[in-house]
Amino acid sequence: MLENFICCLKSCINCYRLFVTENGERRTENGERRGSMGTIRTRYMSGEDERQYMIGEDYEIYEKRGAPTGAVRLHYHDFYEVIYVMEGEFSSLVDNRTYNLKRGDFLLIGRNVMHNYHYVEGKHENSRRIVLWISEGMLEGLSEGEQDLCGCFSGRRDCAYHFPVHYEEILKNLLVKTAMTEIPDLEGAEGKRLFDKAQLILFFVYLNELCSRDSFYFTKEESIHHELVQRVNEYIEAHMSETILVEDLAGCVHMSKYYFLRRFKELTGMTVHSYLNNKRLMYSCEGLKEGMTIGEVWGKCGFSDYSSFLRNFRKEYGMSPTSYRAYLEKK
């Protein structure tokens, strides 16, 4: 049973539990200092880094520090993302809502969901957070038929959470240990990978249980709903296979063309043309995954011709649709 498996994992993992004192000194649970072999080092990525793709195929986890200036452009990716705010504050536009997170908060971003990070000067410089990227295949593999661990990313009305301190500490410790570059008394890359898988199973079992409870969602007052972005999204999805003009989108939100263009970029950090193009490309990737032919894909996603589709696809993904399909078949 899954419960027994979790109990076994907990007992094995507890011996590695480490805490950080206020001055940054690493200690074991009984307060002893770790030697040089026990120094905690986490994978690190600068807040200025613009990379929004995984180098590996399964998962990546790292600590990000400083203002999130590297990902202010609206983007999406074909994997799940979890952000935990360790210190300071952090803001993100996800789909059509802006979330203002503080220390201890979690943000969950699903596959192919448009989002960006908002930078507020003088407010986000001290932000410190753990970011986990994990593929759908990896997360399904961790589930092993016992429980759908992808559930916390789907069918939710919200994606930001405050959890009680006890559960927040459990989730934080599991993330920190997964982000560690080395584990005391544990040698070899394969041992570390098995250790990481154990942490991730526990993390997502807890996370799915907590996310299923209504009491931990952000309240309406803690996020900002952008009706303009929502209505534009709905119009694009309803007319994906058609030619969509700026005038059409401005009309659906009852704004003049030029005010609409300015207001949309203020909210999303992206031009309307780029946003529409990215939505079409995102849907084209989903179509290719579902087995549609390339001819069916570019027509259904609203590209005027194959040349336009090919040019935009290569520019965004660095490969042709044919190469992308071959890549999918190898996975």
Give residue 43's pLDDT: 67
Which option is the CATH number for 226-330: 1.10.3720.10, 3.50.50.60, 1.10.10.60, 3.90.1150.10?
1.10.10.60
Fold classification of 2-222 is Jelly Rolls (2.60.120)
How far, in Å, CA of 156 to CA of 109, rounded? 11
Residue 164 has pLDDT above 50, yes or no: yes
Give residue 6's pLDDT: 47
* Location of each CATH 1.10.10.60 domain in the chain: 226-330
* Location of each CATH 2.60.120.280 domain in the chain: 2-222
- Most trustworthy range by pLDDT among 29-38, 79-88, 213-222: 79-88
Give residue 119's pLDDT: 66
Q: Write down the residue that tokens 């999805």 correspond to.
A: 237
Residue range 231-266, pLDDT digits in tens? 998 999 999 999 999 999 999 999 999 999 999 988
Residue 115 has pLDDT above 50, yes or no: yes
Give residue 26's pLDDT: 38
Which two structure tokens, joined as six digits, stand for 216? Answer: 């931990």
- Most trustworthy range by pLDDT among 58-72, 139-153, 299-313: 299-313
Give residue 260's pLDDT: 94
